[in-house]
């Protein structure tokens, strides 16, 4: 029998959530583009070093420097700046194509991932348009073809989400933590994963946004019989079908 598999669509990027917490990132430039890059990096808890003459600083970048949110060097880039073995990535945002290309080549020699602003061929990775709501991050990338289009698409996606979607995701994270206390054994791992998947699929996004701590506790009582009652059933004190909660974790009685 022939099987159907997804067709390969070349020309894309591998979109990843790059963990740069406590890692050193070098930003060369201090203008408006650099300001956006720096904010993204600080939101990801990176250790940011900025190199730029002070007379070229954007007000936001100057604010980050004044608040000591970044390490700052008031000068132009020097090749020796790349000698630090702890540098994870380099971002350039300067109005000098020749200098940018030189930095790109130096990064390639040292095998350091780099992004040269507005020069897609000289980028190991791209910055997309990002929607952020607490733990929720949604990135739209056009692979360097249309940054403004990425922004438009991202706004439309964000507008379609329920309010406080980030809070809902935080609540799901809390539910998972509580589930581990209810069923801590490693042998329960597959069942925990399957049950959490059922909750996320069977409950609407609006239900997850509305869920409170008492709802979590009541919902967890359905784990042992492997049931997923609705939010309405939980608040009415009942479960669909054959089970009735007795108020304790781990078991239910047939009625």
Catalytic hit among 118, 124, 133, 215? 118
2: pLDDT confidence band, cut at 50, 70 and 90? low
Token pair 């589930």 is at which residue? 179
Q: Please identify, in words, the CATH class of the domain defined by 24-127.
A: alpha beta
pLDDT above 90 (res 237): no
**For residue 82, which of 52, 54, 53, 112 has the smallest C-alpha distance?**
112
Domain residue ranges in the chain: 24-127, 165-254
Q: Which is it for the CA torsion 224, 229, 234, 240, positive or negative? A: negative
Q: What is the pTM of this model?
A: 0.75
Residues in the chain: 255
Which residue reads 């420097």 in tokens? 65
Is the predicted pLDDT of residue 251 greater than 80, yes or no? no
Going by pLDDT thresholds of 50, 70 and 90, the confidence category of residue 145 is confident
187 is catalytic: no
Residue 232: count other Cβ atoms within 10 Å of its Cβ.
10
Q: Give residue 126's pLDDT.
A: 84
pLDDT by residue (tens digit) across 24-83? Answer: 999 999 999 999 999 999 999 999 999 999 998 999 999 999 999 999 999 999 999 999
Of 168, 226, 217, 167, the C-alpha closest to 196 is: 226
- For 200, residues 6+ apart whose C-beta sits below 8 A from its C-beta are 172, 208
pLDDT at site 65? 97
User: Has residue 243 got a pLDDT over 60?
Assistant: no
239 burial (CB, 10 Å; 0-12 / 13-18 / 19+) is: buried
Output the pLDDT for position 238: 61
Average pLDDT, the chain: 90
Q: Are 61 and 52 in contact (CB under 8 A)?
A: yes
Q: From 1.10.3280, 1.10.150, 1.10.760, 3.30.780, which CATH number describes the 165-254 domain?
A: 1.10.3280
């Amino acid at each position: 029998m022939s099987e159907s598999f997804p067709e390969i669509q070349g020309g894309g990027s591998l979109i990843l959530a790059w963990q740069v917490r406590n890692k050193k990132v070098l930003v060369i430039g201090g203008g408006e583009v650099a300001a956006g890059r720096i904010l993204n990096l600080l939101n990801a808890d990176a250790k940011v070093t900025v190199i730029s003459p002070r007379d070229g600083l954007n007000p936001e970048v100057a604010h980050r420097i004044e608040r000591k949110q970044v390490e700052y060097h008031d000068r132009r880039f020097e090749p020796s700046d790349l000698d630090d073995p702890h540098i994870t990535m380099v971002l350039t945002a300067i109005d000098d194509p020749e200098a940018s290309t030189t930095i790109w080549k130096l990064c390639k020699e040292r095998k350091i991932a780099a992004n040269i602003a507005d020069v897609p061929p000289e980028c190991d990775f791209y910055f997309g348009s990002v929607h952020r709501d607490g733990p929720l991050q949604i990135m739209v990338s056009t692979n360097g073809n249309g940054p403004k289009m990425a922004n438009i698409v991202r706004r439309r996606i964000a507008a379609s989400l329920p309010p406080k979607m980030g809070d809902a995701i935080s609540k799901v994270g809390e539910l998972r933590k509580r589930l581990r206390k209810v069923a801590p054994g490693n042998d329960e791992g597959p069942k925990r994963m399957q049950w959490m998947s059922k909750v996320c699929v069977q409950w609407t996004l609006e239900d997850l946004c509305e869920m409170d701590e008492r709802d979590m506790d009541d919902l967890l009582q359905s784990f042992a019989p492997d049931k997923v009652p609705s939010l309405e059933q939980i608040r009415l004190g009942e479960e669909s079908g054959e089970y009735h909660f007795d108020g304790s974790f781990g078991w239910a009685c047939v009625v």
